[in-house]
């Protein structure tokens, strides 16, 4: 197993088509849909940077060039803002611009699943541990989910998967982990099951879209047979890796919004708007009125 080293790189699989948000995603990548005033991908990138990530790796697909443009300087826009003395807007744009040379982009030419998307990043990751953040999932908590995971990784040296609790009768909808002994702010993972048959789940802790993995996952993914949905499943590869390496679960206790689904996306907009002091006063009352009218 690789020695415990700093988690410097993060992979963001952003090649998905976003068919659940058609027709909007015909022209706009789902990762660029906005929650209040920032695109979904910005929330996920901010979480990674807050955890100490230094290099952002985006696994993209066709029609996703706008993501690359977003994390670059737009000269014409900045010149116009300077001419109009829009200093606040300029400062905002500067604050979200990654350090030069700290972003990389690679293509997933075919939609062969999450495991394949991760494998596509192998040359950019190299032989070191890396974070993986699913861009549909944005999280809200006092301590960022990935920051807590990095701390657990440094404490345990194990591969780390973030988990949350669901109602036991809903466990069949998720990837579920078995619960072992306590490890830091989490626990050892005894098994992993993708969408278990109802009544057979080893626990009600489900995988929520955040991972820290050792590079030994790549040769497994290179030879991984297709699984559920005829796709190369990351969970299948992690089960094999668990035969040689330890896995620990970080129990995330914040709020998670699945922005790949319409209801989660709407709820995220409401939650993040209400958390903003500049927006809450103007939306809280109308929201209550709308709910009252539905009763």
4 within some domain: no
Query: Could you tell me if 152 and 294 lie in one domain?
Result: no
181 within some domain: yes
Answer for the pair 264, 225: CB distance below 8 angstroms, yes or no.
no
38 within some domain: yes
Integer-rounded Cα Rg, in Å, for the chain is: 20
Query: Could you tell me if 267 and 253 lie in one domain?
Result: no
Answer for the pair 145, 235: CB distance below 8 angstroms, yes or no.
no
What is the pLDDT, as a whole number, of residue 3? Answer: 52
Q: Which domain holds residue 285?
A: 261-295
Query: Could you tell me if 271 and 208 lie in one domain?
Result: no
What is the pLDDT, as a whole number, of residue 120? Answer: 94
What is the pLDDT, as a whole number, of residue 223? Answer: 82
Query: Could you tell me if 256 and 284 lie in one domain?
Result: no
Instruction: Report pLDDT digits (tens) over 144-178.
Output: 999 999 999 999 999 999 999 999 989 988 889 99
What is the pLDDT, as a whole number, of residue 194? Answer: 84
The pLDDT profile of the chain, 295 residues, written as one tens digit per residue, is 445 689 999 999 998 888 899 898 888 999 999 999 999 999 999 999 999 999 999 999 888 889 999 999 889 999 999 999 999 989 999 888 898 889 999 999 887 889 999 999 999 999 999 999 999 999 999 999 999 999 999 999 999 999 999 999 899 888 899 999 999 889 999 999 888 888 888 999 999 999 999 999 999 998 877 666 657 789 889 999 998 999 999 999 999 999 999 999 999 999 999 999 999 999 999 999 999 988 7
Q: How many domains does the chain have?
A: 2
The string of DSSP letters for 216-227 reads THHHHHHTPPP-
Query: Could you tell me if 167 and 98 lie in one domain?
Result: yes
Query: Could you tell me if 127 and 204 lie in one domain?
Result: yes
Residue 147 has phi, psi (to 5 degrees) of -65, -45
Query: Could you tell me if 265 and 224 lie in one domain?
Result: no
pTM for this model (two decimals): 0.91
**Residue 189 burial by Cβ neighbours in a 10 Å radius (0-12, 13-18, 19+):** buried
2 within some domain: no
Which secondary structure element, helix H or strand E, spans residue 58, and what is its range? strand 55-60
**Residue 254 burial by Cβ neighbours in a 10 Å radius (0-12, 13-18, 19+):** middle
Question: Minimal CA–CA distance to 10: which of 60, 61, 44?
Answer: 44
Question: Minimal CA–CA distance to 59: which of 47, 68, 72, 69?
Answer: 68
Query: Could you tell me if 268 and 239 lie in one domain?
Result: no
Query: Could you tell me if 167 and 285 lie in one domain?
Result: no
């Amino acid at each position: 197993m690789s020695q415990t080293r700093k988690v410097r790189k993060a992979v963001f699989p952003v090649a998905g088509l976003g068919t659940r948000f058609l027709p909007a995603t015909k022209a706009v990548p789902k990762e660029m849909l906005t929650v209040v005033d920032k695109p979904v991908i910005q929330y996920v990138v901010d979480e990674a940077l807050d955890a100490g990530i230094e290099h952002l790796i985006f696994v993209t697909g066709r029609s996703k060039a706008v993501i690359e443009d977003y994390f670059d300087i737009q000269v014409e826009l900045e010149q116009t803002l300077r001419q109009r003395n829009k200093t606040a807007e300029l400062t905002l744009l500067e604050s979200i611009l990654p350090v030069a040379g700290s972003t990389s982009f690679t293509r997933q030419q075919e939609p062969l699943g999450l495991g394949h998307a991760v494998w596509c990043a192998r040359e950019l990751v190299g032989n070191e541990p890396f974070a993986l953040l699913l861009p549909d999932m944005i999280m809200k908590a006092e301590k960022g989910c990935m920051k807590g995971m990095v701390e657990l990784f440094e404490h345990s040296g194990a591969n780390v998967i973030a988990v949350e609790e669901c109602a036991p009768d809903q466990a069949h909808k998720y990837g579920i982990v078995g619960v072992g002994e306590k490890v830091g702010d989490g626990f050892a993972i005894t098994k992993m099951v993708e969408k278990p048959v109802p009544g057979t789940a080893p626990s009600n802790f489900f995988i929520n879209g955040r991972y820290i993995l050792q590079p030994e996952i790549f040769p497994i993914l290179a030879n991984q047979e297709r699984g559920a949905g005829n796709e190369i499943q990351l969970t299948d590869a992690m089960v094999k890796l668990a035969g040689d390496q330890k896995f620990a679960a970080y129990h995330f206790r914040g709020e998670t919004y699945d922005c790949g689904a319409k209801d989660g996306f709407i709820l995220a907009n409401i939650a993040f708007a209400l958390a903003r002091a500049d927006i809450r006063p103007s939306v809280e009352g109308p929201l209550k009125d709308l709910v009252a009218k539905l009763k």
